[in-house]
Amino acid sequence: MDNPRFTDYDAFAWIYNRHWGNISLNTLPVVERFVLKHVPAGGSILDLCCGTGQMASELSSRDYRVTGVDGSQEMIRLARTNAPSATFIVDDARTFGCSSSFEAILSLFDSLNHVMNIDELEMVFRNVFQALKPGGVFLFDVNMEAGYRKNWMNTATNIVEEEYVCAVCCSYDSKNRIGSFRATLFQWDDGWKREDITFYQKCYTKNEILSALKRAGFQRIKSLSTDEDLGLDIVGRRFFLAYRTE
C-alpha cells in the first residue's frame, strides 16, 4: 500500500524527539498494570507507531525483547539511537509484517488517531491480531471528543530556543471530528530555514472502536477512561485492551 501520510513526520522527528518523545512514558503506570505484569521476563513486545523510541528504550531496559514499528524513517533513525537494544522497522501500521509474533503490542500517545478512517483503523486491528500470540494483549490509547474539545480548540504553543523556534497551533472540527496540528519550524543553519508541517487526527467514538476491534477478531475487550476508570488527571483520553483468545 502506498502511504503518503506518515512520511510527513520525517521533518518533525528531531523536534518531536526533544520535546514530545518522553510523553509516552506517562502511560507507564497503565502499561505496567495491564500489560507488563502478564508478560514474562524476556517476553516479546511490539511498540507500534513507536516514534523516536523512548518507550522502547524503557521496555528494553526491563529486559523485554522489543520491536518498534513506525512509518517515519527519520523517527526510526532517532529511535535506533535512543534504544539501541531494540529492533526497529520502517513500516505502515496497516500493513506491517514481522517474522515473529508477540506476547503484547502497544500503540501509545494517541498514535492511532492519526489513522484517518475507520476502514483503515480496522486494517490496523486485523494486522495486530495476526501479529499477537494466542493469549496476547493489545493496549492502545486514543483522544476522544472531550479531549479534543478541551485541548485542541484553537490552542497555541511556542517553543523558543537559541537555534530553533517552533510555533504550534491546534484546532478541532467538531462536525467532521478532525483535529489539526499545525507547526511552523525555524531552524538556524547558516541562516534561518522554515518548515511548515500539518498533521491530522480523527476522533472516533468508543462504539466505533469496539466494533472495529470485534470485526478484526478480538472478542475480549476492555475500554477504560483515563479519569473515571483509571483515576488519572487526564480528560478525554481512553485506553483499550484487546486480547487474542484463540
Residues 6+ apart with CB under 8 A from 89: 67, 68, 69, 76, 96, 98
Q: How confident is the model over 38-59, as pLDDT tens digits?
A: 899 899 999 999 999 999 999 9
Question: What's the CA gap between 102 and 140, in Å, rounded?
Answer: 15
pTM of the prediction? Answer: 0.95
Question: What's the CA gap between 32 and 26, in Å, rounded?
Answer: 11
**8 or 190, greater pLDDT:** 190
How far CA 92 is from CA of 75, 115, 177, 192, in Å, comes to: 13, 10, 23, 33
Residues 6+ apart with CB under 8 A from 157: 167, 168
Q: How confident is the model over 142-154, as pLDDT tens digits?
A: 999 999 999 999 8
Domain ranges of the chain: 6-144+204-243, 147-201
Helices (H), the chain: 13-19, 28-34, 54-61, 73-82, 118-131, 145-151, 206-215
Domain 6-144+204-243 top-level CATH class:
alpha beta
Please give the pLDDT value at position 6.
Answer: 62
Q: How confident is the model over 8-17, as pLDDT tens digits?
A: 799 999 999 9
Query: To 10 degrees, what angle do helices 54-61 and 73-82 make?
Result: 30
Domain 147-201 top-level CATH class:
mainly beta
